[in-house]
Structure 1
């Protein structure tokens, strides 16, 4: 087979949700936006619903269909982007819960779907989504009379627990919501790990479910094995790949592997990342190209037919550190050419 094998460990996914749920005394939802962080929203939602999640979050209304298919009719699906123009029929038909972000969205929702469940998103300092204090003060009494199911905000610096922004946002969120009597949510994965004062009535982990930081105790969910197309002998002084960026210092064996930046293996990993053949490290040599990698397999006792990029030794955050990005980006960009299979429930 000419494409890589992406294995999704659904048992690890469920275990990560259960572990994060155990850290709180409130409801634990699940963020499954961006097609379940690139792993398939239907299968991810089905697994997490079986684990106990009863509320899911997506970025836009269009993502709700796959989550509804996977999780079934008896869960809530909340939409971070709220009630956008043209979304009314979809929100109604799929039973979605828009998190209203502005006075315009509040008016749109109340006029188009009176009595339909909704939540409110508030801006506690991130300046991205939600109503600021002045706008919220103008509409809060009317909105609360319509019985929102949730008031929420989002932390800007939760991956850095000591950052002063966390305390500022917590205080602002309390100032905006104390005394409303409406369930509240502030914490995603990082907020869960900062402790009970951030938990309120509901948390909504995302990246930690999928094996990423800042949840250091997460079980790895994604494993990626890539097929070797051919292996060649390279003499000392010969170059490998585009631009002659790597020159062999001694005779070596170079495997050409079927994957590249079209498959989400960013070019920033060029000549920097290690692949694995069992317990043997195999360094990537030269540039990542669109469809191919060139990897030094000189240390392998036998000629490999496949090499591993994501495994128990090396996760998405390890690759992200090398590439100068974050695990979220690498995880959600894993390509569609991979043959995907699941293990676990």
Structure 2
């Protein structure tokens, strides 16, 4: 049996016509344009099959042989070990199916695996972490976005006293909340931080017509604290950043991401599910405290009217739409 092809002699890039001949006693003869040699089959090395890349027969002296007909060579030299991988590499439908499977796994990982892992990590995370992140985010907001409150001391004391009474009447929260006041030129607003801080802006206090209406917004923010939405979003974003870093090899800046995302969240809003959970918490507590969700509906209507033709306040800009939220509260 003779198989024709080409060969490259040791320490040479010159291509030569050659052939190999299979001999008795498991021996093989290589015949090139310059010389010929014989070896035992056990002395040869075969390169691993890789898609359509030609396989090489490597002889003990370093000579490399590439057959014109790879199938004939495989039939004589390749015992079948690992041949399934070669078939997969050359099987387009199987490659497509493998890619589809990878996509499905990735989707399931990010849609179910990451949320589950996020919840598990937040539950076991030391309380010091949420406090450190909350303090850092507040410092960043104070440095770049917020201004000291213009509310009178008596206004602050009155609202804080009411806030403390509301907190006492609530189920035990995941962290001990506190209320502070700031000014922000981005419309009536209130935001919650991971350490339990609720920031109420002067414009929201001025917009609320009754204490109960202001309670409804504060309760919404306490809902974010109760469900740990800030820390969950931070951990989820960090996990996603870490996953991207692993896939791309770029691992710098993960610490900055962890705290930086906190600033983004409190200024851009939460996910639809998080907003719905916070709304549900606020509605339930409004019924418990005041026997009605009407003040909450009224407050949302005031916020909607304040937005006018422009954008809604940032904390209300995320899905679901404000009209939907009002309808849900009314049910």
Higher relative contact order (CA 8 A, sep 6+): 1
TM superposition score category, shorter chain reference: under 0.3
More strand as a share of residues: 1
Give the alignment's TM-score, normalised by structure 2. Answer: 0.21
More helix as a share of residues: 2
Give the alignment's TM-score, normalised by structure 1. Answer: 0.21
